[in-house]
């Protein structure tokens, strides 16, 4: 009987132009979103290739500069000497720490346009490379980019509701519902058949286009966890759609007219997709506000001023903290060593401000994680961004790797700087090199599975309410 219901419903919908208009709109928006996401991934890859080429050319120039200076063909100044560990570690030989796009990055740009995906790491302070961001149009950053995730989170529910707001009310208003139910079919099964057809019709082309977009964006399905990510992605999309279908069935089960159903479902869409996420965003910033950036700048200025005033006393204190670096001293190395001591003093002074900033951001994220269950849109967004590798979690993982590389880079050059060593051509090949390591898949899957469980629970609860209401549905007009 369920098969007959689906076939009958397909004949009815096929004659309705609205269905084909909705299908065309869905295909166009999905295609446009995937195109935007693929272009962004292509831009990131091209940028990373450009910075890698620039790094190779610069290190090759350092190598040849050392050879020319040793042979006496050039006489560089102390601030441009490629043999100086201080100059090379700070400017000439600085290397990039970069994060390549994740396998499904073309499907969800997420927060990848907010956070930098490469840093130029040197012996300078951590803040010098963390705050060296590319200039981006503020309107783009505020509104976000149109991608497949945007289509799924915002437009996908609207299309579902446009096809489902009058599941029962249309037949009831036309006077055909009682005739249909006179056949050996129950009202819950009738609604299930109607929803099943719409669910497959909307999900199937969306899944095919998503797969095509992932492959077109450079995803290797057989490697890098691409297949597992795609399965999780489709699972989140399917459950997110199922929630809206269940909600439409529950609203129809109240027995109101089509116009009342449309208004009620539009109100639910506004609440779950726009109002609750906006209130949650404002609330977490109010409860856990981050320190002012002006405070950080002021702390850095004060620390730099004090470090400059202390002069040699600070250098002596630095050697007390690092006796292994004192060794055989020469006056020529004092300037570079004093700069290192100043940097450490500045970092110690601003560390409380930075720690407070990170702590507040962490508290904000915890609050969002705690109350995201108020909206299925927030749950789905967090899961999709995590699966696509464009969430804050992956950025924090990359930031930790960049910090570790920064410490290794400094340690490599500090001893040579303090002892006033001179670099040789073969030393260039021994410079530390950054290697990005993906976050463990188990951690990503664990966070995404929480979203799947929450969405499944929401579908079951709303579906149970709809089934309970359908048993009391007033069939008569």
Q: What is the pLDDT of residue 141?
A: 45
**Least trusted range by pLDDT, from 358-362, 397-401, 420-424:** 358-362
| pLDDT for the residue numbered 169 | 83
Query: Taking the alpha carbons of 246, 247, 252, 253 in that order, is the dihedral positive or negative?
Result: positive
> In terms of pLDDT, which residue wins out, 390 or 340?
390
Query: Who's near 53: CB < 8 A, 6+ residues apart?
Result: none
- Nearest partner of 341 among 50, 388, 244, 349, judged by Cα: 349
What is the pLDDT confidence band of residue 236, given thresholds at 50, 70 and 90?
very high
Residue-level pLDDT at 330: 44
291 or 465: whose pLDDT is higher? 465
User: Which H helix or E strand runs over 98?
Assistant: strand 95-98
Lowest-confidence segment of 261-275, 284-298, 408-422, 447-461 by average pLDDT: 284-298
**In terms of pLDDT, which residue wins out, 174 or 225?**
174
**Quick one: average pLDDT of 231-247?**
92
Angle made by CA atoms 182, 187, 193, in degrees to the nearest 5: 110
Q: Quick check: 178 pLDDT over 80?
A: no
Crossing angle between the packed helical segments 156-164 and 258-269, to the nearest 10 degrees: 160
Distance separating the N- and C-terminal Cα atoms of the chain: 25
pLDDT at position 241, please?
92
CA–CA dist 396, 391 (Å, integer)? 9
Give the pLDDT band of residue 358 (cuts 50, 70, 90): confident
pLDDT band at 273 (very low <50, low <70, confident <90, very high): very high
Residue in this structure with the two tokens 């397909």, named with its chain if needed = 10
Domain count, the chain: 1
Residue 331 has pLDDT above 70, yes or no: no
The mean pLDDT value of the chain amounts to 81
Select the more confidently predicted residue: 416 or 238.
238
CA distance 18 to 202: 13
Strand extents, DSSP E, 290-337? none
Say what percent of the chain tops pLDDT 90: 30
Q: How confident is the model at residue 20, as a pLDDT? A: 79
Q: Is the pLDDT of residue 379 over 90?
A: yes
- Residue 30's pLDDT is what? 84
Asked if 369 contacts 88 with a C-beta cutoff of 8 angstroms, the reply is: no
Picking from 159, 148, 110, the residue whose alpha carbon sits closest to that of residue 32 is: 148
- The answer to which of 80-84, 262-266, 334-338 has the lowest mean pLDDT is 334-338
pLDDT at 386: 92
Domain that holds residue 131: 1-477
Name the percent of the chain in helix, strand, coil, to the closest 5: 75, 0, 25
pLDDT band at 272 (very low <50, low <70, confident <90, very high): very high
* pLDDT one-digit tens code per residue, 52-89: 999 999 999 999 999 999 888 888 887 788 998 888 98
Provide the pairing of β-strand 95-98 with 118-121. antiparallel
Instruction: From 158, 249, 242, select the one nearest 200 (Cα to Cα).
Output: 242
pLDDT band at 220, cuts 50/70/90? low
Lowest mean pLDDT among 58-62, 181-185, 397-401, 428-432: 181-185
pLDDT tens-digit readout, 94-111? 999 999 988 888 888 888
Give the pLDDT confidence score for residue 208 in this predicted structure.
73
**Average pLDDT value for residue range 381-405:** 92
Judge whether residue 138 has pLDDT over 50: no
pLDDT band at 309 (very low <50, low <70, confident <90, very high): low
Q: How confident is the model at residue 246 (pLDDT cuts 50, 70, 90)?
A: very high
């Amino acid at each position: 009987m369920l098969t007959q219901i689906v076939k009958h419903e397909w004949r009815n919908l096929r004659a309705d132009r609205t269905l084909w208009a909705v299908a065309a709109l869905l295909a166009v928006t999905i295609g446009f979103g995937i195109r935007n996401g693929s272009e962004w991934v292509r831009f990131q890859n091209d940028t990373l290739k450009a910075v890698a080429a620039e790094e190779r050319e610069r290190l090759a120039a350092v190598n040849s500069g050392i050879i020319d200076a040793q042979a006496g063909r050039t006489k560089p100044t102390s601030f441009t000497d490629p043999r100086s560990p201080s100059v090379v570690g700070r400017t000439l030989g600085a290397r990039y720490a970069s994060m390549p796009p994740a396998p499904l990055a073309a499907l969800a740009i997420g927060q990848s346009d907010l956070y930098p995906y490469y840093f130029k790491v040197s012996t300078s302070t951590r803040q010098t490379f963390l705050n060296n961001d590319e200039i981006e149009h503020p309107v783009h950053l505020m509104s976000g980019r149109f991608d497949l995730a945007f289509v799924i989170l915002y437009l996908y529910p609207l299309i579902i509701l446009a096809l489902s707001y009058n599941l029962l009310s249309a037949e009831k208003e036309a006077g055909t519902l009682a005739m249909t139910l006179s056949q050996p079919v129950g009202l819950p099964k009738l609604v299930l058949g109607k929803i099943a057809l719409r669910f497959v019709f909307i999900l199937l082309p969306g899944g095919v286009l998503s797969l095509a977009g992932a492959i077109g964006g450079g995803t290797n399905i057989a490697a890098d966890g691409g297949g597992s990510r795609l399965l999780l992605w489709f699972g989140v999309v399917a459950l997110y759609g199922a929630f809206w279908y269940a909600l439409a069935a529950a609203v129809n089960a109240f027995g109101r007219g089509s116009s009342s159903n449309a208004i009620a479902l539009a109100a639910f869409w506004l609440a779950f997709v726009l109002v609750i996420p906006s209130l949650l965003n404002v609330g977490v910033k109010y409860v856990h506000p981050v320190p002012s950036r002006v405070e950080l700048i002021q702390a850095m200025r004060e620390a730099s001023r004090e470090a400059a005033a202390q002069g040699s006393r600070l250098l002596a204190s630095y050697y007390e903290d690092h006796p292994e670096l004192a060794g055989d001293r020469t006056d020529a190395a004092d300037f570079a060593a004093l700069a290192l001591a100043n940097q450490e003093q500045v970092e110690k002074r601003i560390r409380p401000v930075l720690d407070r900033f990170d702590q507040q951001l962490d508290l904000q994220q915890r609050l969002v994680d705690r109350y995201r269950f108020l909206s299925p849109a927030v749950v789905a967004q967090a899961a999709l961004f995590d699966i696509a590798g464009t969430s804050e979690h992956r950025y924090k993982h990359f930031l930790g790797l960049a910090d570790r590389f920064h410490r290794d880079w400094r340690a490599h050059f500090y001893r040579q700087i303090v002892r006033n060593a001179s670099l040789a051509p073969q030393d260039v090949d021994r410079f530390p090199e950054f290697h990005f390591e993906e976050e463990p898949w188990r951690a990503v899957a664990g966070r995404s599975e929480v979203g799947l469980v929450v969405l499944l629970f929401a579908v079951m609860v709303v579906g149970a309410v709809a089934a309970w209401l359908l048993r009391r549905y007033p069939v008569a007009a």
